[in-house]
């Protein structure tokens, strides 16, 4: 049955609702939960797309989808196969959240050997676990939605753009711009480190609004000036290790972090 056959019309014109599926690889499923949590706009969202697969929300399953949102990083061989099958079926594959875009918090384990991780985490009940990888290490990705978790308002805006054929434009500027617009006190002035100057905006300065420094979950803004942030951190008495802790947390800044580690080793 096509979407127009389902009877959704606007001013008498059939409305096209793309068949949409949500999947998870290794993840906490918090990004999917963000969408479901948005009760005030959930019904409006559901009128826009035809959700055919969403394990957290429904029991029905279908392999006939056009847009696939994939949450989580790739950490097992069965996930590689599953992801390739999703890619074959999807016209648009969206990396959903920082685990899918950068490896996310899962990639923190990549600094240890696989044997060590298996022993320390699973003990005698070892399971297969490889290094955590972002989706685009395995398949091509059409679109990324950043954040740990994703910001639901931003996801809905992006989905509206996909469904109505508009381009998706990410903010190029850093979180600091949103933080200033929100009239927050700069956390550096009250003794808290923050990656806001180099992190891509779009979360509406979520953490600094609650007086928590940014940890860079959305990855680098365009032209992120990490060298200048190093100067700011030093001026406020923070060590390079403090900076590295944050740069290495979600995987989006891993190239920058590697470069800094090489200079101090
Ligand atoms: S990005 Fe964060 S919230 Fe989303 S699945 Fe990964 S760990 Fe969970
Ligand atoms: S608190 Fe962080 S995001 Fe806000 S202005 Fe200061 S450095 Fe930028
Ligand atoms: S402030 Fe930084 S860590 Fe917090 S949600 Fe935004 S990008 Fe992520």
At residue 79, the pLDDT reads 97
| Residues 144, 52 share a domain | yes
Q: Where a domain ends, among 163, 188, 214? A: 163
Does residue 170 lie in a domain region?
A: no
C-alpha–C-alpha distance, residues 230 and 225, integer Å: 9
Span of 4-18, 185-199, 204-218 with lowest mean pLDDT: 4-18
- Residue 7 confidence class, pLDDT cut points 50, 70, 90: low
| Residues 81, 45 share a domain | yes
In testing the pocket of ligand 3, which one of 104, 193, 202, 215 has its CB within 8 Å of the most ligand atoms? 215
Does residue 58 lie in a domain region?
A: yes
Percentage of the chain beyond pLDDT 70 is 96
| Strand, helix or coil for residue 204 | coil
| Residues 129, 38 share a domain | yes
At residue 1, the pLDDT reads 42
At residue 3, the pLDDT reads 44
**Structural domain containing residue 202:** 175-264
At residue 163, the pLDDT reads 78
Does residue 159 lie in a domain region?
A: yes
At residue 5, the pLDDT reads 46
Does residue 52 lie in a domain region?
A: yes
Task: State the average pLDDT over residues 240-252.
Answer: 97
Decide: 203 in ligand 3 pocket, CB within 6 A.
Answer: yes
Residue 207 CA to ligand 3 center (angstroms) comes to 6
The answer to whether the beta carbons of residues 195 and 214 sit under 8 Å apart is yes
Tell which atom from ligand 3 comes closest to the C-alpha of 148: 8
Quick one: how far is CA 120 from the chain centroid? 27
At residue 121, the pLDDT reads 87
| Residues 54, 12 share a domain | yes
Structure confidence by residue, pLDDT tens digits, 70-126: 999 999 999 999 999 999 999 999 999 999 999 999 999 999 998 898 888 888 888
- Specify the pTM: 0.92
Decide: 249 in ligand 2 pocket, CB within 6 A.
Answer: no
Residue 56 CA to ligand 1 center (angstroms) comes to 14
Q: Where a domain ends, among 163, 186, 210? A: 163
The answer to whether the beta carbons of residues 223 and 201 sit under 8 Å apart is no
Does residue 169 lie in a domain region?
A: no
Residue 206 CA to ligand 1 center (angstroms) comes to 15
| Residues 233, 132 share a domain | no
Cα 197–Cα 37–Cα 104 angle in degrees, nearest 5: 45
| Residues 180, 143 share a domain | no
| Residues 199, 68 share a domain | no
Residue 16 CA to ligand 3 center (angstroms) comes to 34
Residue 99 CA to ligand 1 center (angstroms) comes to 6
Decide: 207 in ligand 3 pocket, CB within 6 A.
Answer: yes
In testing the pocket of ligand 1, which one of 148, 206, 218 has its CB within 8 Å of the most ligand atoms? 148
- Residue 40 confidence class, pLDDT cut points 50, 70, 90: confident
Decide: 133 in ligand 3 pocket, CB within 6 A.
Answer: no
C-alpha–C-alpha distance, residues 253 and 218, integer Å: 9
| Residues 17, 141 share a domain | yes
| Residues 206, 148 share a domain | no
Q: Where a domain ends, among 163, 183, 213? A: 163
| CATH number, domain containing residue 60 | 3.40.50.700
| Residues 195, 240 share a domain | yes
The closest ligand to the CA of 183 turns out to be 2
Decide: 257 in ligand 2 pocket, CB within 6 A.
Answer: no
Tell which atom from ligand 2 comes closest to the C-alpha of 175: 3
| Strand, helix or coil for residue 139 | coil
| Residues 120, 31 share a domain | yes
Does residue 125 lie in a domain region?
A: yes
Does residue 56 lie in a domain region?
A: yes
Tell which atom from ligand 1 comes closest to the C-alpha of 97: 1
Does residue 168 lie in a domain region?
A: no
Q: Domain count of the chain?
A: 2
| Residues 67, 15 share a domain | yes
C-alpha–C-alpha distance, residues 53 and 162, integer Å: 18
Tell which atom from ligand 3 comes closest to the C-alpha of 200: 7
The answer to whether the beta carbons of residues 217 and 98 sit under 8 Å apart is yes
Decide: 205 in ligand 2 pocket, CB within 6 A.
Answer: yes
Average pLDDT over the chain reads 91
At residue 206, the pLDDT reads 97
């Amino acid at each position: 049955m096509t979407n127009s056959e389902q009877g959704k019309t606007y001013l008498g014109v059939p409305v096209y609702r793309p068949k949409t599926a949500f999947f998870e690889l290794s993840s906490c499923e918090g990004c999917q939960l963000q969408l479901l949590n948005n009760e005030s706009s959930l019904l409006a969202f559901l009128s826009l797309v035809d959700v055919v697969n969403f394990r957290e929300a429904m029991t029905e399953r279908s392999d006939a989808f056009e847009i696939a949102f994939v949450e989580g990083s790739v950490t097992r061989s069965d996930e590689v196969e599953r992801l390739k099958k999703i890619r074959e079926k999807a016209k648009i594959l969206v990396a959903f959240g920082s685990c899918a875009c950068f490896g996310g918090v899962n990639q923190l384990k990549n600094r240890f050997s696989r044997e060590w991780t298996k022993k320390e985490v699973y003990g005698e009940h070892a399971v297969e676990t490889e290094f955590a990888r972002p989706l685009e290490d395995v398949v091509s990705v059409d679109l990324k939605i950043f954040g740990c978790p994703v910001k639901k308002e931003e996801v809905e805006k992006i989905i509206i753009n996909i469904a109505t054929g508009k381009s998706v434009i990410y903010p190029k500027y850093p979180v600091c711009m949103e933080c200033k617009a929100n009239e927050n006190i700069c956390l550096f002035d009250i003794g808290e480190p923050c990656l806001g100057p180099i992190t891509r905006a779009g979360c509406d300065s979520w953490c600094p609004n609650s007086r928590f420094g940014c940890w860079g979950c959305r990855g680098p803004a365009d032209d992120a000036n990490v060298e200048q942030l190093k100067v700011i951190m030093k001026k406020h008495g923070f060590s390079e290790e403090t900076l590295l802790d944050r740069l290495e947390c979600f995987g989006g800044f891993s190239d920058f972090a590697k470069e800094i580690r090489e200079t101090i080793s």
